[in-house]
Structure 1
Amino acid sequence: MKNIVFMGTPSYASKILEKIYKTKFNILAIYTQPDKPVGRNQTLTPPDVKKLAIDLGLNDIVYQPKSLKESGVKEHIKSLNPDIIIVAAYGQILPREILDIAPCVNLHASILPAYRGASPIQSAILDKNSLSGVTAMAMNEGLDSGDILAFSILDITGMNSYELFDKLSIMAANLTIKILNEYENINPIKQFDALSSKCKKIKKDDGLINLDSDNVYEIGAKFLAYFGWPGIFSKDGIKILDMEISDLNGEVGKILGLSDDGFILGVNGGSILIKKIQAAGKKPVDAKSYLNGKRLGLGDRVSL
Structure 2
Amino acid sequence: MRVIFMGTPDYAEAILAKLIDTDGIDVVAVYTQPDKPVGRKKILTPPVVKTLALDNNIDVYQPNRLRDEDVVNELLKIECDYIVVAAYGQILPKAVLEHAPCINLHASILPQYRGASPIQQSLLNNDAKTGVTAMLMDEGLDTGDIIKIEEIEIPKDMIVGELFDALTKIATDLTVDVVQNYDNYTPVKQDDSNATHCTKITKANGLVEFEDAYDLYNKYRAYTPWPGIYLQSGLKLKQISLLDSQKDGEAGKIISINENSVDISCLKGSIRIYKVQPQSKKEMDVISYINGKRLSIEDNLS
| CA-CA distance at 1:250 after TM superposition | 4.2
Q: Specify the alignment match of 2:56 in structure 1.
A: 57
Q: Which amino acid aligns with 2:205?
A: D
Q: Pick from 209, 219, 226 the counterpart of residue 222 of structure 1.
A: 219
| CA-CA distance at 1:147 after TM superposition | 0.6
Secondary structure of 1:86 counterpart:
strand
- What is the CA deviation profile of residues 157-206 of structure 1, one whole-angstrom value per residue up to 9, with x for unaligned ones? 32211111111011000000100110012111111111111111111111
| CA-CA distance at 1:52 after TM superposition | 2.6
Q: Is the 8 A contact 2:248 2:267 kept in 1?
A: no
Q: Which amino acid aligns with 2:40?
A: R
**Aligned counterparts of 1:134 and 1:18: Cα–Cα separation in 2:** 18
Q: TM-score, normalised by structure 2?
A: 0.94
Q: Is the 8 A contact 1:13 1:88 kept in 2?
A: yes
Q: Specify the alignment match of 1:209 in structure 2.
A: 208
User: Taking every aligned residue pair, what percent have the same amino acid on both sides?
Assistant: 46
**Aligned counterparts of 2:46 and 2:292: Cα–Cα separation in 1:** 39
Secondary structure of 1:264 counterpart:
strand
Q: Pick from 71, 76, 81 the counterpart of residue 74 of structure 2.
A: 76
Alignment of 1:166-181 (within 5 A): 166-181=165-180
Q: Pick from 141, 144, 147 the counterpart of residue 145 of structure 2.
A: 147
Gaps of 5+ in 1: none
- What is the CA deviation profile of residues 189-232 of structure 1, one whole-angstrom value per residue up to 9, with x for unaligned ones? 11111111111111111111112xx3111101111111111111
Q: Specify the alignment match of 1:296 in structure 2.
A: 295
Q: Specify the alignment match of 1:131 in structure 2.
A: 129
Q: Specify the alignment match of 1:28 in structure 2.
A: 28
Matched, 1:245 2:242: yes
**Aligned counterparts of 1:217 and 1:284: Cα–Cα separation in 2:** 24
| CA separation of 1:288 and 1:52: change in aligned 2, threshold 3 A | farther
User: Which range moves more in the overlay, 108-117 or 264-273?
Assistant: 264-273
Q: Is the 8 A contact 1:129 1:157 kept in 2?
A: no
Secondary structure of 1:233 counterpart:
coil
User: Which range moves more in the overlay, 18-27 or 131-140?
Assistant: 18-27
Q: Which amino acid aligns with 1:27?
A: V
Q: Which amino acid aligns with 2:59?
A: I
Q: Which amino acid aligns with 2:172?
A: A
Q: Is the 8 A contact 1:250 1:256 kept in 2?
A: no
Q: Specify the alignment match of 1:193 in structure 2.
A: 192
**Aligned counterparts of 2:235 and 2:38: Cα–Cα separation in 1:** 22
Q: Specify the alignment match of 1:111 in structure 2.
A: 109
Q: Specify the alignment match of 2:46 in structure 1.
A: 46
Secondary structure of 2:77 counterpart:
helix
Q: Is the 8 A contact 2:249 2:267 kept in 1?
A: no
Q: Pick from 93, 96, 106 the counterpart of residue 94 of structure 2.
A: 96
Q: Specify the alignment match of 2:260 in structure 1.
A: 261
Secondary structure of 1:293 counterpart:
helix
| CA-CA distance at 1:249 after TM superposition | 6.3
**Aligned counterparts of 1:19 and 1:82: Cα–Cα separation in 2:** 18
User: Which range moves more in the overlay, 191-200 or 239-248?
Assistant: 239-248
Q: Is the 8 A contact 2:5 2:85 kept in 1?
A: yes
Q: Which amino acid aligns with 2:98?
A: D
| CA-CA distance at 1:270 after TM superposition | 1.5
Q: Which runs of 4+ in 1 moved over 3 A?
A: 247-250
Q: TM-score, normalised by structure 1?
A: 0.94
**Aligned counterparts of 1:296 and 1:236: Cα–Cα separation in 2:** 15
| CA-CA distance at 1:21 after TM superposition | 0.8
**Aligned counterparts of 2:207 and 2:153: Cα–Cα separation in 1:** 27
**Aligned counterparts of 2:200 and 2:151: Cα–Cα separation in 1:** 23
Q: Is the 8 A contact 2:277 2:283 kept in 1?
A: yes
| CA-CA distance at 1:124 after TM superposition | 1.0
